[in-house]
Amino acid sequence: MTKIHMVLQGKGGVGKSMIAATLAQYKASKGAKPLCIDTDPVNSTFEGYKALSVRRLDIMDGDEINTRTFDALVEMIASADGEVIIDNGASSFVPLSSYLIGNQVPAMLQDMGHELVVHTVVTGGQAFKDTLMGLAQLAAQFPAECTFVVWLNPYWGPIESEGKGFEKMKAYTDNKARVSAIIQIPTLKAETYGRDFSEMLQERRTFDEALADPALTIMTRQRLKIVKTQIFQQLDNAAVL
């Protein structure tokens, strides 16, 4: 089955575009050429990665989201030769989710030989409860044809509650059977690894672009190489990918 990777989370600014971009780079490192689509009507961060040839889907009609434009998204998926990676914004999270569920798109895609893999993110810090609730809601609403990959992003703080790690939390234990993989984004020391990674993301650069840039110091490139390796090794171990 061909995988359709969709990054969904109702909370904004939690790393969705970073996940989409990382996934696209990982697939490219394996020789694949995924179709990358940005449906975020507010922040087209994913489209900003020129090296990934991301296509923007305009879903706005005036000041409102026109859910009929999601028909065009399904057409793009259906005509794609290989895997598809879709980054969706917080503002279009509810309309797109409702569209997919209401039109029974996951089952239809399965009939066409595609598997919908929903990538969602749980963060530490202020957005912890919102992102955790987002995971629980997605798992409750999306049908059995979907599988889930959870990305844990500790950038704003550790992902724990009352001394419990993510895998002991109710949102995970209740939906464990639906979660095919957990990807732990490394905890990065702010003044070194964290700064290097943040600057790379802000410039919408891929790991390969940064690693090939002689203007960056040797140690900056070394740290970025370590981060890339740590994430890609986890993706290697995720059978669903």
Cα angle 168, 165, 240; round to 5? 75
| Interatomic CA distance for residues 26 and 1, integer angstroms | 19
pLDDT-derived band at 169 (thresholds 50, 70, 90) equals very high
Q: Is residue 193 part of a domain?
A: no
Question: 152 is written with which tokens?
Answer: 């844990």
Q: Is residue 172 part of a domain?
A: yes
Q: Is residue 175 part of a domain?
A: yes
For residue 175, the number of C-alpha atoms closer than 13 Å in the C-beta half-sphere is 28
Cα angle 114, 180, 148; round to 5? 65
| Interatomic CA distance for residues 163 and 8, integer angstroms | 27
How would you classify residue 125: left for phi > 0, otherwise alpha for psi between -120 and 50, otherwise beta? left
Q: Is residue 212 part of a domain?
A: no
Q: Please count the structural domains in the chain.
A: 1
Q: Is residue 61 part of a domain?
A: yes
Q: Is residue 238 part of a domain?
A: no
Whole-prediction pTM: 0.97
Q: Phi and psi for 213 in degrees, rounded to 5?
A: -90, 110
| CATH number of the domain where residue 30 is located | 3.40.50.300
Q: At what angle do helices 195-202 and 218-237 cross, to 10 degrees?
A: 80
- CA pseudo-torsion sign 134, 9, 6, 235: negative
Q: Is residue 228 part of a domain?
A: no
For residue 43, the number of C-alpha atoms closer than 13 Å in the C-beta half-sphere is 14
How would you classify residue 115: left for phi > 0, otherwise alpha for psi between -120 and 50, otherwise beta? beta
For residue 151, the number of C-alpha atoms closer than 13 Å in the C-beta half-sphere is 25
Q: Is residue 226 part of a domain?
A: no
| Domain extent at residue 137 | 2-188
pLDDT-derived band at 35 (thresholds 50, 70, 90) equals very high
Could you tell me the end-to-end alpha-carbon distance of the chain, in angstroms, rounded to an integer? 11
Task: State the DSSP H helix or E strand holding residue 117, giving kind and residue range, or none if neither.
Answer: strand 114-123
119-141 pLDDT per residue, tens: 999 999 999 999 999 999 999 99
84-116 pLDDT per residue, tens: 999 999 999 999 999 999 999 999 999 999 999
